[in-house]
Amino acid sequence: VEKLIVLGSGSALPTTTRNPSAQLIKSNSYYYLIDCGEGTQLRLRDLKIPFNRITHIFISHLHGDHIYGLPGLISTFSLLGRTNDLKIFGPKGIKEFIQTAFKLSESYLAFPYQIIEFEDQYNDLHLIGETKHDTFQIFSLNHRIKCYGYLIKEKAKPRKLIKEALEEYNIPLAYRNVIKQGADFQASNGEIIPNKLLTLPPKSAISYAYCSDNRIKEEQLLFLKGSKYLYHEATFEHELLDIAKKTMHSTAYEAGILANKLNVNTLLIGHYSGRYTKVDFLLNEAKQNFKNTIAVKDKQVIEF
Ligand SMILES: [Zn+2]
């Protein structure tokens, strides 16, 4: 995965500067969409994202600010003559939501799609799919209705060949692939050239954990330990902890504690309450507990 594109960083009430939740992960010229609040397709248009390059959609939960953009977006896919497959993942009910919208509007989708629903409680990472380059895992979050987080993780990359060493030891072309995978080379005279003389360690695999609406239960999320990027909602300032508890949300301060505990590389916060016009103080709150925090903004691009 190469970058994150923030399409919506707000929560329930859209504002003039913040759309409801939606994020895009770019991976090898394809895109994964996470949540699809109202206005998502306009943001995609604005940012000139080719619609047919979106191959997977991951929905966290069925609250409107995470799904109201979905029927419109999928309908546009169809109008644009999409032919390639689309996979939509989400909690049970997402299928009925989509199909009801199309049934009542007497429209239908002219491209192949699959809707994969979940209803189990996942207290650990659960593999739900993969591409050539990445794996997708789901886990349960603690919210008012069934809510899931997603972990998108690059598969381990092959080791990097040292061109000069390959020449020096006369390694035939046919062996290069197995050497990239970590094999030693045995020369025709029986001499063994250890892999470490021929390759360098691969670039570390990037992992992106998306935790939308939830009341933090840290002991539940320990399996995210060491993830490179953690996105976590920070709907409220810590002063409003009572409201956060009542609505099953988290504060920026708490998101910072979690990031620290999980020892991630970077924390991203978002899903800000519509009551805030500026979010600097939410950022500072999170930073009290975890320095490397970014308060995401709509249309922001974060290169991994
Ligand atoms: Zn919600």
In whole angstroms, give the CA distance from residue 53 to residue 136. Answer: 17
Task: Report CA(246)–ligand 1 centroid distance (Å).
Answer: 12
Q: Which pLDDT belongs to residue 158?
A: 87
Task: Report CA(160)–ligand 1 centroid distance (Å).
Answer: 43
172-188 average pLDDT score: 90
Q: What is the pLDDT of residues 188-243, one digit of tens each?
A: 888 899 999 999 998 889 999 999 999 998 777 999 999 999 999 999 999 999 99
Q: Which amino acid is at 233?
A: E
Q: Which pLDDT belongs to residue 157?
A: 85
Q: Where are the beta strands (DSSP E) in 207-265?
A: 207-211, 229-233
Phi (first) and psi of residue 299, to 5 degrees: 70, 5
Q: Which two tokens stand for residue 212?
A: 């939308």
Q: Which pLDDT belongs to residue 257?
A: 96
Percent of the chain with pLDDT over 90: 88
DSSP-based three-state secondary structure for 26: strand
Percent of the chain with pLDDT over 70: 100
Q: Is the pLDDT of residue 74 over 80?
A: yes
Q: Is the pLDDT of residue 71 over 80?
A: yes
Q: Select which of 35, 46, 65, 298 is catalytic.
A: 65
289-300 average pLDDT score: 97
Q: What is the pLDDT of residues 22-53, one digit of tens each?
A: 999 999 999 999 999 999 999 999 999 999 99
Task: Report CA(12)–ligand 1 centroid distance (Å).
Answer: 8
- When pLDDT is cut at 50, 70 and 90, the band that residue 4 belongs to is very high
- CB atoms near residue 165 (< 10 Å): 16
Q: Which pLDDT belongs to residue 150?
A: 98
In whole angstroms, give the CA distance from residue 217 to residue 16. Answer: 32
Task: Report CA(149)–ligand 1 centroid distance (Å).
Answer: 12
In whole angstroms, give the CA distance from residue 99 to residue 92. Answer: 13
Q: Is the pLDDT of residue 83 over 90?
A: yes
Q: Which pLDDT belongs to residue 108?
A: 86
In whole angstroms, give the CA distance from residue 143 to residue 21. Answer: 16
What's the mean pLDDT when you consider all of the chain? 95
Q: Kindly give, in sequence order, each residue whose CB lies less than 8 Å from that of residue 23, ignoring residues fewer than 6 positions away.
A: 4, 5, 6, 7, 8, 33, 34, 35, 210, 231
Q: Under a CB-based contact definition with an 8 Å cutoff, are residues 78 and 110 in contact?
A: yes
> How many residues comprise the chain?
304
Q: Kindly give, in sequence order, each residue whose CB lies less than 8 Å from that of residue 72, ignoring residues fewer than 6 positions away.
A: 41
In whole angstroms, give the CA distance from residue 158 to residue 204. Answer: 10
Q: Which pLDDT belongs to residue 220?
A: 79
Q: Is the pLDDT of residue 248 over 90?
A: yes
Q: Which pLDDT belongs to residue 89?
A: 98
Task: Report CA(76)–ligand 1 centroid distance (Å).
Answer: 25
- When pLDDT is cut at 50, 70 and 90, the band that residue 283 belongs to is very high
Task: Report CA(62)–ligand 1 centroid distance (Å).
Answer: 7
65: annotated active-site residue:
yes
Q: Which pLDDT belongs to residue 15?
A: 85
Q: What is the pLDDT of residues 124-172, one digit of tens each?
A: 999 999 999 999 999 999 999 999 999 999 998 889 999 999 999 989 8
Task: Report CA(213)–ligand 1 centroid distance (Å).
Answer: 5
Q: Under a CB-based contact definition with an 8 Å cutoff, are residues 281 and 17 in contact?
A: no
